Amino acid sequence: MSALKRMLGPVAVITISNPPVNALSPAVQESLLKVLKEINLDPTVKAIVLGGENGKFSAGADIRTFQTREVRSAASLEDVNSALEKSTKPIVAAIEGVALGGGLELALGCHYRLAHVKAQVALPEVLLGLLPGAGGTQRLPRLIGIPAALEIITTGQYVSAPAALKLGLLDSVVEDNVVQAAVDLAHNVIGQPLEPRRLCMRPLPCPPNVEKLFDEAKVKLKKQFRGAKSHQVCVDAVRAAVELPFAEGILKERELFLTLFSSDQAKARQYAFFAERSVARWTAPSGANWKSASPRPIRTAAVIGLGTMGRGIAVSLARAGIQVIALEQDKKQLEMGSKAVMSIMERETQKKQQLGHALNAPHFGFVKFTLDFNELGNADLVIEAVYENMALKKEIFQRLSKMCKPETFLCTNTSGLNIDEIASVTDRPHLVIGTHFFSPANIMRLLEVVRGYHSSPTTISTVMNLSKVLGKIAVVVGNCPLFVGNRLMGPYVEQAVFLLEDGYTPNEVDQVLEEFGFAMGPFRMSDLAGLDVGWRSRMERGLTGPKLSPGVPACQREGKRYSPLPDILCEKGRLGQKTGQGWYQYERAGGRTAVADPWLQSFLEDYRKAHKIRQNVVRHDEILEWCLYPLINEGFKVLEDGIASGPEDIDVIYTHGYGWPKHMGGPMFYASMVGLPRVLTTLETYYESNRDVPSLKPSALLKKLVTQGSPPLKEWRSQLGHHQSSKL
């Protein structure tokens, strides 16, 4: 962990060395200051180049040290930047790979910035619940102007080197050896005045109506990142650059940084960052790991069914350069499916080109559309995405088993059917696995990898490797009805519907959850997904249907409270956005703007009267608890059953697949922040008065953790049993 120095003639090259990403730990910062001081005293050095080891400039401050670090040391990175800026010898930043966060701020302290054409720069602090706290909010606007700087600082977006060159963030972009090019530039600028190159001395070009710009940015960000503080505070920090001289702006930036640094939202975001990385290291509670197996390469993949999911899956595969064979059941469906796939690909290509990503434009592999099952024989891997029907899936897997080469992996995109039952009809249960993509599959990054009892380490390893190739975040889960994500959704949606019976409107419930940070409340979400998805699954499980007419007075099924409201809506043809009516009404079938529906209001009133339901209006904060605590409780049950291997797995599934706000970490992290005793006592109270709602019965693991004094989340794993579908 250090800053290394070597001489190339009169140019000193300083290299940041802290593998794997050259994070700026306190030790690196001290080392940089020390080397810089030495160099400035050395009369043989005329110019300096600053770079990073192993093809990466720097990924910024060392996030691992944030929760343990003395806040007092927060200023030290700005001390380094200031020392670079004040240097009397010109300094050129040589950017390879990434310059992120504190890494980019370091480059902004240098007098010149040169980057490799494939390098990326960004200030992603906002996504860690912070702001660029080492001068970034004061220097960047002075370099590229307020509008562009505001966008970069408040969204954390990555900027490619060519785009950064256009913005004026970089002085030059090269295709070959960056360090050599930086040394050449350093040679050329020896003796040139440094004052104009010091960003702290630059006047800030201020557009007219700058206040309006800030106000509009705040409104937009509030909508885009509901409930998240850091985006708003980032705007205030850039505003300080306009209102204050540089030195005072730096003090203001630090003051604002400190308000965020110790916040729960920042802790949640940083937890989410490491949780995302930890799921890739999945280990069965037995200690065994699929990483011991080698993944097999996937060159050709087949997709069966080109409906909502199959289309997106085919595009994801093709975008990664994999040859795709896409199968449909009849000519009409094939035509519709192939058109949809081609149009997604065209849109994606156009979008990338518009964003100036032409250099990295996706390379789409070849997609062959077919009605002939025999064409799948040579695929390395098949993903089935037909209707959610066990008999149909079994029929398909039986056929696949007969005609695919013996080593072909057979995957199903089922949202919750039994993987082992599907595998049981094949000749190769060890090569069968669930690949649960989320809709739209070409956009959503989450992939639940559902391992069956027989899934082999090679199968898991291959699918995990494929997910990386596709740019997805994959989480390995066990096999149980609905797996992890949809299983936790059940109690959440169930409680939301009970709240309607109790006297609330869909809008009131949605609003509370949207204020919490969900992109959509449960009713808006159901309307978008289609109410019939759950309805068909309930019919398949015999929970509703003609024999169980929802008109009957008792809202109970098999001794459990059951609300027939969603079934009634489906029977009336109100399937959500697609039919123009669901929990809300829409301007037309397929419309997107949800408006409260007076019909629904009077229907709910009649329903309550008919079923003699006494209105039970609870406080708004209780709506949150009624919906979230049963979901969290189910999360503990999933851990107890060994279906997820740790709380991080559940949290990644929720933040990436279900719109749980990242600044709330995920359901399990949120529970740890609220306090496990509070979650437990609330559930106990609710269950006491609702014995017919099993999802309110506190999980044994939750009780155990509270009895043990509520250990921190990172210690929960040690309390878990063995993975249910474990054979590893």
From CA 590, how far away is CA 580, in angstroms rounded?
6
Q: Please name every residue paired with 304 in a beta bridge, in sequence order, or none if there are none.
A: 327, 384
Of 73-81, 175-183, 304-312, 555-563: span binding ligand ZOZ (CB under 6 A): 73-81
What residue 413 binds from ligand NAD, ligand ZOZ, none (CB within 5 to 8 A, per partner kind)? Answer: ligand NAD
Q: Nearest residue to ligand NAD, using CB?
A: 307
Asked whether the beta carbons of 521 and 510 are under 8 A apart, the reply is yes
Of 205-213, 436-444, 607-615, 681-689: span binding ligand NAD (CB under 6 A): 436-444
Angle at 547 between CA 543 and CA 550, to 5 degrees: 65
Residues between 83 and 112 with contacts to ligand ZOZ, criterion CB under 6 A: 98, 100-102, 105
Q: How many CB atoms lie within 10 A of CB 166?
A: 15
Is position 315 an interface residue for ligand NAD (rule: CB under 6 A)? no
Tokens of 139: 């220097």
Relative to beta strand 91-95, strand 11-17 is unpaired
Nearer to ligand ZOZ, 130 or 447 (CB): 130
Q: Out of 387, 481, 588, 715, which residue is the one contacting ligand NAD (CB under 6 A)? A: 387
Q: Out of 57, 66, 282, 535, which residue is the one contacting ligand ZOZ (CB under 6 A)? A: 66
Nearest to 661 by CA among 133, 198, 127: 127
Q: Out of 12, 77, 306, 433, which residue is the one contacting ligand NAD (CB under 6 A)? A: 306
Out of 78, 125, 625, 648, the active site residue is 125
Cis peptide bond N-terminal to 440, omega within 30: yes
Task: List b or e across 286-309, with b for residues whose CB sees 16 or more CB atoms inside 10 angstroms.
Answer: eeeebeebebbebebbbbbbbeeb
- Amino acid identity, residue 44? T
Q: Which residues, 6 or more positions from 147, have their beta carbon under 8 angstroms from its beta carbon?
A: 207, 213
Helical segments of 404-456, H only: 419-423
Q: Out of 144, 163, 385, 419, which residue is the one contacting ligand NAD (CB under 6 A)? A: 385
Q: Nearest residue to ligand ZOZ, using CB?
A: 101
Is position 129 an interface residue for ligand ZOZ (rule: CB under 6 A)? no
Of 12-20, 211-219, 267-275, 301-309: span binding ligand NAD (CB under 6 A): 301-309
* Residue window 493-532: x/- pattern of binding to ligand NAD, with contact defined by CB under 6 A: ------------------------------------x---
- Amino acid identity, residue 232? Q
The nearest distance, CB 292 to ligand ZOZ, in angstroms, is 18
Looking at 328-478, which runs of residues are DSSP E strands?
A: 367-370, 381-384, 409-412, 432-437, 446-450, 473-477
From CA 294, how far away is CA 290, in angstroms rounded?
8
How far CA 128 is from CA of 150, 170, 234, 552, in Å, comes to 17, 25, 12, 51
What residue 333 binds from ligand ZOZ, ligand NAD, none (CB within 5 to 8 A, per partner kind)? Answer: ligand NAD
Is position 40 an interface residue for ligand NAD (rule: CB under 6 A)? no
Q: How many CB atoms lie within 10 A of CB 482?
A: 18
Nearer to ligand ZOZ, 280 or 334 (CB): 280
Residues between 7 and 36 with contacts to ligand ZOZ, criterion CB under 6 A: 20-21, 23
* Residue window 266-285: x/- pattern of binding to ligand ZOZ, with contact defined by CB under 6 A: -----------x--------
* DSSP secondary structure code for residue 295 in this structure: P
Q: Is the dihedral of CA 294, 297, 303, 309 positive or negative?
A: positive
What residue 305 binds from ligand ZOZ, ligand NAD, none (CB within 5 to 8 A, per partner kind)? Answer: ligand NAD
- Amino acid identity, residue 515? E
The nearest distance, CB 384 to ligand NAD, in angstroms, is 8
Q: Is 105 a catalytic residue?
A: yes
Out of 105, 448, 494, 648, the active site residue is 105
Is position 439 an interface residue for ligand NAD (rule: CB under 6 A)? yes
Task: List b or e across 635-658, with b for residues whose CB sees 16 or more CB atoms inside 10 angstroms.
Answer: bbbbbbbbbbbbbbbbbbbbbbbb
Q: Is 125 a catalytic residue?
A: yes
Asked whether the beta carbons of 22 and 50 are under 8 A apart, the reply is no
Residues that bind ligand NAD (rule: CB under 6 A) add up to a total of 24
Asked whether the beta carbons of 303 and 324 are under 8 A apart, the reply is yes
Q: Out of 174, 386, 497, 570, which residue is the one contacting ligand NAD (CB under 6 A)? A: 386
Task: List b or e across 190-202, with b for residues whose CB sees 16 or more CB atoms inside 10 angstroms.
Answer: eeeebeebbbbee
Is position 478 an interface residue for ligand NAD (rule: CB under 6 A)? no
Nearer to ligand ZOZ, 223 or 281 (CB): 281
Is position 701 an interface residue for ligand ZOZ (rule: CB under 6 A)? no
From CA 559, how far away is CA 693, in angstroms rounded?
9
The nearest distance, CB 727 to ligand NAD, in angstroms, is 25
Is position 59 an interface residue for ligand ZOZ (rule: CB under 6 A)? yes
Nearer to ligand ZOZ, 320 or 500 (CB): 320
Is position 414 an interface residue for ligand NAD (rule: CB under 6 A)? yes
What residue 306 binds from ligand ZOZ, ligand NAD, none (CB within 5 to 8 A, per partner kind)? Answer: ligand NAD
How far CA 722 is from CA of 194, 372, 712, 725, in Å, comes to 63, 43, 21, 9
The footprint of ligand NAD (CB under 6 A) covers 304-310, 327-329, 333, 337, 385-388, 396, 413-415, 436, 438-439, 529
The footprint of ligand ZOZ (CB under 6 A) covers 20-21, 23, 59-64, 66, 69, 71, 73-74, 77, 98, 100-102, 105, 124-125, 128, 130, 132-134, 277
> Which residues are catalytic, by number?
105, 125
